[in-house]
Structure 1
Amino acid sequence: MSTAVETLDKLERRITITLPLADVQAEVEKRLKIRARTAKAPGFRPGKVPMKMVAQQYGYQVETEVLNDKVGRAFSDAATENNLRVAGLPKIEPKSGEGVAEGAVAFDATFEVYPEVRIGDLSTAEVERVTTEVSDAEIDKTIDILRKQRVHYHVKGEQGAHGDGGADQSAQSGDRVTVDFVGRIDGVEFQGGKADDYAFVLGEGRMLPEFEAAATGLKVGESKTFPLPFPADYHGKDVAGKTAEFTITMKKIEWAHMPEVDAEFAKSLGIADGDLAKMREDIRTNLEREVKNRVKAKTKDSVMDALIKASELDVPKALVEQDVERLVEMTRQDMAQRGMNAKDMPFPPELFTPQAERRVRLGLILAEVVKTNNLQATPEQVKAQVEDFAQSYEDPQQVLKYYYSDRRRLAEVEALVLEENVVNYVLSKAKVTDKPVAFDELMGNNAQA
Structure 2
Amino acid sequence: MFGLNKKKAENKLSLKLESKLLQDRFNKKILQQQRDSNLKGYRKGKAPKDVIEQYYGDQITAQIIYEEMANTFYKKISEEKISVVGQPALNPSSMDIKKDIKFDAIFEVYPEFSLKKFSTIKYKKPIATLKDSDLDKSILEMRKRFGNLEKIEESVADGLYAKVDFEGYLNDELFEGGAAKDYLIEIGSNNMIPGFEEGLIGLKENEEKELNLSFPDDYHADDLKGKEVKFKVKINEVLQTLLPELNKDFFTKIGIDAETEEEFKIDLKGKLEKDLEVSLKRKVKERIFDSLEKLNPIEIPSAMVIAESENLRKAAVQQMGMDVSKIKDEEFPLENFTENATKRVRLGVILNKIIEDNDLKSDAEVVKSLIDERSSGFKDPEQYRKWIYGNEEQLKNIESLALEEQVTELLISQSKSEDENLSFEEVMTMS
Fold shared by both chains (TM-score > 0.5): yes
In the superposition, relative to structure 1, how do residues 252 and 243 fare at CA in structure 2: closer, same or farther (>3 Å)?
closer
Instruction: After TM superposition, list the pairs within 5 Å mapping 1:284-295 onto structure 2.
Output: 284-295=269-280
1:91-111 per-position Cα deviation (integer Å, ceiling 9, x unaligned): 1111359xx998644422122
Give the alignment of 1:156-305 within 5 angstroms: 170-171=154-155, 173=157, 174-175=159-160, 208-215=197-204, 228-233=210-215, 255-271=240-256, 274=259, 276=261, 279-305=264-290
Structure 2 residues without counterparts, runs of 5 or longer: none
CA 1:200 to 1:140, structure 2 compared with 1: closer, same or farther past 3 Å? closer
The structure 1 residue matched to 2:305, chosen from 323, 328, 350, is: 323
Letter of the 1:15 partner, please give it: L
User: Greater CA deviation, 326-335 or 199-208?
Assistant: 199-208
CA contact (8 A) 1:176 1:202 kept: yes
Choose from 86, 92, 95 the match for 2:93. 95
CA distance in 1, matches of 2:84, 2:372: 38
Secondary structure of the residue aligned to 2:203 is helix
Counterpart residue identity of residue 290, structure 1: D
Code of the aligned partner of 2:374 = F
Instruction: Compare 333-342 and 388-397 and name the one that shifted more.
Output: 333-342
Partner of 1:231, secondary structure, is strand
Listed one character per residue, the Cα deviations across residues 128-175 of structure 1 (whole Å, up to 9, x for unaligned) are 43343334443332221111111124566xxxxxxxxxxxx6446445
8 Å contact from structure 2 (residues 93, 102) kept in 1: yes
Give distance in 2, aligned partners of 1:4 and 1:52. Answer: 45
Matched, 1:444 2:429: yes
Q: CA deviation at 1:228?
A: 3.4
Q: Tell me by how many angstroms 1:364 deviates.
A: 2.9
Q: Aligned equivalents of 1:357 and 1:64: distance in 2?
A: 35
Q: Residue 130 of structure 2 aligns with which residue?
A: 134
Cα deviations by residue, 1:39-89 (Å, 9 ceiling, x for unpaired): 68589xxxx957978976888777666655543343233224435443443
**2:292 aligned to 307, 312, 317, which one?**
307
Unpaired runs of at least 5, structure 1: 157-168
Using the alignment, how far apart are the partners of 1:193 and 1:434 within structure 2?
Answer: 43
Residue matched to 1:115: 111
CA separation of 1:30 and 1:436: change in aligned 2, threshold 3 A: farther
Task: Report the Cα distance in structure 1 between the residues aligned to 2:123 and 2:187, rounded to whole angstroms.
Answer: 45
Q: Check whether the contact 2:151–2:240 (CA below 8 A) recurs between aligned residues.
A: yes
Query: Does the C-alpha gap of structure 1 residues 60 and 283 become closer, same or farther in structure 2, counting only changes over 3 Å?
Result: farther
| Distance in 2 between residues matched to 1:433 and 1:4, nearest whole Å | 48
Aligned equivalents of 1:429 and 1:101: distance in 2?
61
Matched residues in 1 for 2:390 and 2:52: separation? 51
Q: Specify the code of the residue in structure 2 equivalent to 1:228.
A: E
Pair 40,445 (structure 1): closer, same or farther in 2 beyond 3 Å: closer
> CA shift at 1:122, angstroms?
2.1
Superposed counterparts of 1:36-55, under 5 Å: 41=38
* 1:146 corresponding residue in structure 2: 142
Note closer, same or farther for the CA distance 1:351–1:436 as it changes in structure 2 (3 Å cut). same
Three-state SS of the structure 2 residue aligned to 1:143 is: helix
1:295–1:344 CA distance, 2 compared to 1 (3 A): same
How far apart are residue 25 of structure 1 and its match? 5.4
Deviation at 1:117, TM superposition (A): 1.4
Kindly indicate whether the alpha-carbon contact (under 8 Å) linking 1:14 and 1:109 is maintained by their aligned counterparts in 2.
yes
- Mapped contact 1:177–1:199 kept (Cα < 8 A): yes
Q: Does 1:385 align with 2:381?
A: no
Amino acid at match of 1:214: L
Tell me the equivalent position of 1:160.
none
Query: Letter of the aligned partner of 2:16 in structure 1?
Result: T
* 8 Å CA contact 2:156, 2:203 repeated in 1: no
Cα-to-partner distance string for 1:195-220 (whole Å, 9 max, x where unaligned): 998876655566643333122xx8xx
Q: Which residue of 2 aligns with 1:338?
A: 320
Query: Based on CA coordinates, which of the two structures has the bigger radius of gyration?
Result: 1
- Alpha-carbon distance change, 27 to 380 in structure 1, aligned in 2, over 3 angstroms: farther
Could you give the per-residue CA deviations for residues 321-347 of structure 1, whole angstroms, max 9, x where no partner exists?
652564266336524653678514166
Match of 2:72 among 74, 81, 100: 74
Superposition deviation, residue 372 in structure 1: 0.7
* Whole-Å separation in 2 of the counterparts to 1:33 and 1:208: 78
Contact 2:155/2:201 (<8 A) preserved: no
Match of 1:421 among 392, 402, 406: 406
CA contact (8 A) 2:7 2:113 kept: no
TM-score between the two structures when normalised by the length of structure 2: 0.70
Match of 1:372 among 344, 348, 357: 357
Q: Deviations over 1:245-295 (max 9, x none)?
A: x886xx876553211212221122234564545544543444344323322
Query: After the TM superposition, which residues 2-17 of structure 1 pair with which residues of structure 2 at under 5 Å, given as runs?
Result: 12-17=10-15
Change (3 A) 1:32 1:385: farther
Q: 1:400 to 1:31 in 2, by over 3 A?
A: farther
TM-score for the superposition, normalised by structure 1: 0.68
Native 8 Å contact 2:312 2:341 kept in 1: no
- Calculate the aligned-residue CA RMSD, in Å: 5.2
Q: Percent identity?
A: 25
